[in-house]
Structure 1
Amino acid sequence: MTITNAYSGTNVVEIADGIYRINTPVQLEGGGFSFNQYLVVDDEPMLFHTGLRRMFPLVREAVASVLPVERLRYIGLSHVEADECGSLNEWLAVAPQAVPLCGSVAALVSIDDLADRPARALKDGETLALGRHTVQWFDTPHLPHAWECGFLMEHRTRTLLCGDLFTQGGAKLPAITEADILGPSEAFRRQMDYFSHTRFVRPMLERLAGAGPTTLACMHGSAWRGDGAKLLRALADELDS
């Protein structure tokens, strides 16, 4: 682990080949929490999630510890929310070749208006080569929330950039774990009720499971390593109960 800001505790860990978790722990009312971004280092580097706008200096400092920020080519997001894309325009300002990367619905309803440059909009199932890494977009409307929601699967490392799925509370969690995250994430979900309860949960989770992820890059809490298909199906069972 590399601590890039001693005051905030912002840190960087490589969780898969060429994929780095940037983490900032915070103390909120009721307990600790964490905000993660994921940097894919390649010929056309991608940052997935920007973090909150006020976190921009911390995340920029962390990215710069791995590669020059002006090299960024894509600023990705799962859905439109402050911790997903709050500093999107700040990133576009410091990375002149970068464009937003999102699903076609997000581009249509929000990003092409909010962002200072037009998005590279991905259709459901579309792939994008970054160099050694290739990402594929999966539309997951209202899973866990937002019509435009979707996730990216990086095929070479079998890493699913899964946004708010498996959100875990707490600020002092390992960067990556093989321990249970379903129990803690379900406890958090039951307390906060942030899922939309769409009736299409199971087919969407089954489709993600079919991609065969072995690393889950969660936005809040630890990333996870193991049989991702089994864990996604277990989540579907929990949401059906």
Structure 2
Amino acid sequence: MARVWDISSDPDGAIDAAAAAVADGRCIVLPTDTVYGIGADATNAAAVQGLLDAKERGRDMPPPVLIAEVGMLRALTDEVSEDLLALADAFWPGALTVVVTAHPHLRMDLGDRGATIAVRVPDHDFTRALLRATGPLAVSSANVSGRPAATTVEQAREQLGKRVKVYLDGGPAADAVPSTIVDLTGEPRILREGRISRDELGRVVPALAPADPDPTAAEPTDTEPTDTEPTDAEPTDAGPAAAEG
């Protein structure tokens, strides 16, 4: 039976219960600095598959990995570039998810991620304390794919029910704007602009700055079709490496 823990009244008990569930290969729901996330042991392939099953999501959208400290990056990738360190220094902990080339010997089956992994350090004290107890967690938004991401633990329970062993209640999400996703596996590029803007990123990594407008480009008319991004029913599932928010 799923258990709900109030992290404000018993943070130590909540961490112990969640860490035990993670060690047992079960899924948990946890608060983050964006929306609520569903998490599982990132090193346990069966647990990660359980997370994908709980969300009714395929392996083509692997979850990102949350870590407690920037120093844990070197366990996940051996390509810690100057751009990566600069972004981490500027925006971590915070709402920035970075896609990097995974360490060639990394033992994480997160789905069909190819040679990449998406990583974030959340700006949430309790969640980082939990991550120190559990190690890296595969985390995605706490919802069934195609439905709105949960901003309260009650919304997460309504969607995920008994598929989750422990629910950690941190109150309503402070800001439901999802994380920004940046791909650093080649030329730096933004996969999704979320809470951190392109302008902010560009001040740290110039390659991510907005392109200068072409003064010779014609303005589109009302009858001229323009390129638009499709609206995603689940905004936290955007990009080749999905984000929890």
TM-score of the superposed pair, with normalisation by structure 2 = 0.25
Look at both structures and tell me which one has the larger radius of gyration over its CA atoms.
2
The one of the two structures with greater contact order (alpha-carbon pairs below 8 A, sep at least 6) is 2
